[in-house]
Chains A and B, each alone.
Chain A
Amino acid sequence: MEFWSTLWAVVFVLCLLLFAGVAVYVSVGAIGDIRALFRKMGKRDGDAKADPQG
């Protein structure tokens, strides 16, 4: 039981730290991706309006 209890404690702490790092990286980085998504979809809408025949 000692082995499993230590194993889960180590796994839990490591995963929590790793996730905290990923959460910071993704939260900040995704803002740029959202901007790019809106730019792409907005530009496409603009193209469609300029050329209604497609």
Chain B
Amino acid sequence: MPSLTSNFGTLDWLIVAVYMAATVGVGLYMNRYIRDMGDYIVAGRSLKSRLAVATMIGSELGLVTVMYSAQKGFTGGFAAFHIAVIAGVVTFIVGMTGFIVVPLRRLGVMTIPEFYEKRFSRGVRVFGGLLLAFAGILNMGLFLKAGALFVTGLTGLTDPNSVAVVMTVMLALVIAYTIMGGMVSVVITDYIQFVVLSFGLILTCGMAVYALGWTTIVETVASVHGEPGFNPLLEGSGFGPSYIMWMIFTAGLVSCAVWQTSVMRACAAESVAVVRRLYRWSSIGFLIRFMIPQFLGICALTYFFNMPEFRGFFFDETGSPTADPTMTLQAMPLFLSQVLPTGIIGLVGAGLLAAFMSTHDSYLLCWASVLTHDVVAPATNERLTTRWQLTLSRVFISVIGLFLLVWGLWYDLGQDLWDYMAVSGAIYFTGAFTLLLAGLYWKRASTVGAYLALIAGIGAVAGLGPVNKTLGLGMYRSDEIGLAVTALALVLMFVGSLVFPDRLDRGDQASWAERAQQEGWDGQADKADKADQADRADRPDRLDRKGEA
């Protein structure tokens, strides 16, 4: 690692400490509002539009997102912006159409596996819940490592022990307030983080352009990457048509409508109208959470390429970015440590570290809830009392935290962090997307088809760097493997459902929609719709009424 003197000083440490203490204090205080699992997981379904938007963006704009997006900007140039545009456009379309998220909110489920049971069977719920938790926990396995690299780069800390101590303390704090406050504390801390980070990142972009100059940035990208640094359709940038397709699916549809942490926000919304508004308004957040960090990565590329004494750390002899993912990950925080002045760097650092904690709290809560709510509870025939469910969730949060510490130290990344995230998540979401799509919109989808699609999704693990090498699949990129697995899951769902239909799908039995009515799920839909009507009555603006009509 290059030795650069960071601008991060005593004042910045003080800002970070005060900010952290305040965030954790607020989180712990929220424990007084937790009464049952509904409060714990979805904040009693009481979120209104603007708070829901703040918490959605606050949660998704995490330090890890900032790190992997900056890395993509560094290695891909301006062409990486296509990921951001896709994320924003697809989220907006989901908000307009209500695709997947509105039917889920109407069903009143708290997690996606809960939908699996309502639509398919309890076995599918338990299996899907296990897969979801496994992929989700694996997906967040490198969060700590990314956080450690950020702290090292930004603050100038070089002693690995002190970095490990900082990260462990932060993780312990997150675990403490997530265990105590559940979703209510997550929502409030996400809001604080949203405010600090939104304005902090906009200011940082302005300062970066001021320091480097727009023309220099464009010329450096052209010099390092050539045309592929601007045109994502060209393969040379590491992108190309299949990568764009993969991004439409992962960065677009999955991250807003299938990924459990986002769906939890939809499920926590007060009404269907709030869900739609949430997605429409959040679309700009889904776009910007990729675009701003990507731009900062591009600025880091410009900065280090034009500093001959450090160029060797980040670029090879031909002038291309180094293949070492650790170095490309660390470029952005190192750049910030040089460009931002004392005080501002402390505020941005505190915001990003809070973002790190906020992402952890959302994810810890999410996966622990899935394990309790969708694996243990149904496996014990729902005999767990509320108190036991809460206790078990808290135990799972602690165990997952321990895993993160171990995995973060052990796993050798070997690929861009974003690609690791997309592939590890794909173990779950390729199958989950199929189940949601077919389950919500195709009445002949069957339990056997659901099992087959979930099993097919596991194949996405072949896209992970070390697994890919071990299996000798180096000729296929992770995006190609991901797309192939998604197609396989869809085909298996289709064939499995036709060959092995559910008994309920036969002509003499009720369809799943009729079953929903018989079993009273429509009660949940009624509640969502009543909240919807109340929400509309509260909103005098005619345009919005017209949009929701």
Contact = CB atoms under 8 A, between A and B. Distances in A.
Q: Tell whether A pairs with B.
A: yes
Interface in A32-52: 32-34, 36-38, 40-42, 44-45, 48
A5 interface: yes
Given A37-B47, A37-B48, A15 B287 contact: yes
Contacts of A9: 214, 218
Interface in B174-216: 184, 187-188, 191, 194-195, 198-199, 202, 205, 214
Interface residues of A, number: 31
A45 B288 contact: no
B199 A23 contact: yes
B492 to A, nearest CB: 38
Nearest to A34: B51
B363 interface: no
A26 B191 CA distance: 9
Contacts of B285: 19, 22
A33 B202 contact: no
Nearest to B214: A9
Nearest to A29: B50
A4 B53 CA distance: 31
Interface string B19-59: 00000000000000101000100011011111111100100
B291 interface: yes
B46 A41 contact: yes
Contacts of B502: none
A15 B288 contact: yes
A52 to B, nearest CB: 13
Contact of B81 (A11, A36, A45): A11
A8 B78 contact: yes
Interface in A1-36: 1, 4-5, 8-9, 11-12, 15-16, 18-20, 22-23, 25-27, 29-30, 32-34, 36
B447 interface: no
A8 to B, nearest CB: 4
B284 interface: yes
Contacts of A26: 50, 53-54, 57, 194, 281
Interface residues of B, number: 45
Contacts of B199: 23
A33 B47 contact: yes
B321 to A, nearest CB: 18
A9 B214 CA distance: 9
A8 B51 contact: no
A27 B230 contact: no
Nearest to A22: B284
A5 B84 CA distance: 16
Contact of B198 (A12, A23, A36): A23
B39 A20 contact: no
A44 B43 CA distance: 13
Contact of B284 (A4, A8, A18, A29): A18
Interface string B279-312: 0010011011001100100000000000000000
A45 B30 CA distance: 13
Contact of B39 (A15, A34, A36, A41): A41
Contacts of A36: 46, 48
Contacts of B54: 26-27, 30
17 contacts: A1-B222, A1-B231, A5-B230, A9-B218, A11-B85, A18-B284, A19-B284, A22-B284, A26-B54, A26-B57, A30-B194, A33-B48, A34-B188, A37-B43, A40-B46, A41-B44, A44-B35
7 pairs of A and B residues whose beta carbons are closest in the complex: A33-B51, A4-B230, A29-B50, A23-B198, A33-B48, A30-B50, A30-B51
Interface of A: 1, 4-5, 8-9, 11-12, 15-16, 18-20, 22-23, 25-27, 29-30, 32-34, 36-38, 40-42, 44-45, 48
Interface of B: 33, 35, 39, 43-44, 46-54, 57, 78-79, 81, 84-85, 88, 184, 187-188, 191, 194-195, 198-199, 202, 205, 214, 218, 222, 227, 230-231, 281, 284-285, 287-288, 291-292, 295
